[in-house]
Structures are given as structure tokens and as C-alpha cells.
Amino acid sequence: MTEKTVTSCACNEVHEDELYERLLTIVKSQRTIPGALIPVLQTTQNLFGYLPQRALHMISKELKIPYSEVAGVVGFYSYFSTTPKGKYTIRVCMGTACYVRGGQDVLKALQKKLQIGVGGTTPDRKYSLEIGRCFGACGLAPVVMVNDETFQSVKPSKVSDILNSFE
């Protein structure tokens, strides 16, 4: 009898095809409801973490809405993203106080460390990098938010410490 060692569990992982099956069920249940596009897009983004092109085409077909209209809505609302987002979204404040107190240098340090630009996501989908336009914490400038956690008076030399706290 041979013993098998399990090195990792995929218990919580869902195959992409299963996500599309779920989406199809959701879209079909919404197709007769006027104004269903935005709620369906929100549900889709929650399901995938972003809006894949394949999903947008499926939504267009099933809701009988031209793809150009679906893409137009996605492009209009900043909430929607057609690029995968990381587990942790890092936002660097670029409001006046943060900018003057070194926010740009903090942003450059993050870009260098993560090797991505603003709007980008690391290949492992761990981090996404964005700019914010005032977090209302001007006295704590420069400010960086990682998901809902706020870091104040951030210096470029402390960027690694912040990232390491999410290991």
C-alpha cells in the first residue's frame, strides 16, 4: 500500500468554468428585469474579481444588449475594472498635502518594489497599485491605504515593511 501525501488543499478554489456557469445562471435570471445591466456587472465583478472580456460578451448576448453598450457602461464607471485586481489594493494618496510631503516618492518606491505601474497588478495577483485623491487624513501625510488599513507618515524606506506585513 502506497501512502499519498497531500501538500496543498484546493478546497476553496473554484474552476473558471464553474464561475462562468454561475454567471450564466445569474444573467439568465436577470434577463427580463429592466435595468439589470449594472447589477449583473457588479455581481460579475464580485464573482471574478474583475470583468473578463468573455464575461462581458456573455452578458451582452444573454441580456440582448449590444456589446458596445456593455463596454460603454464598464468604461464609464470607475468602480468597474477589466483587469484582474490583487488580493491587496494599495492606494497612495496624491492629494495636495500627501503630494507635498513626499507621496510621489512613496509611489515610486512602491512601483519599484512591486515592479508594476499605477493601475497594475503583480503577476501573482497579490497586489494592485492605485492612486487616491485625498483620504481626508492630511495631517498624517503622506498616507497609503492597503485595502481598508491606513498607514500614515509613510517614507519610501518603509514601503518594504508595509508590504511584509501582508505576507
- Give the tens place of pLDDT for each residue, 7-59: 333 445 568 889 999 999 999 999 899 999 999 999 999 898 899 999 999 99
CATH number at 88-164: 3.40.30.10
144-146 β-sheet, strand order:
127-132, 88-93, 144-146, 149-151
User: What distance in Å separates the CA atoms of residue 54 and residue 38, rounded to the nearest whole number?
Assistant: 17
Q: Which of 87, 58, 79, 84 is nearest to 70 (CA)?
A: 58
- Give the tens place of pLDDT for each residue, 79-129: 888 988 899 999 999 999 999 999 999 999 999 999 999 999 999 999 999
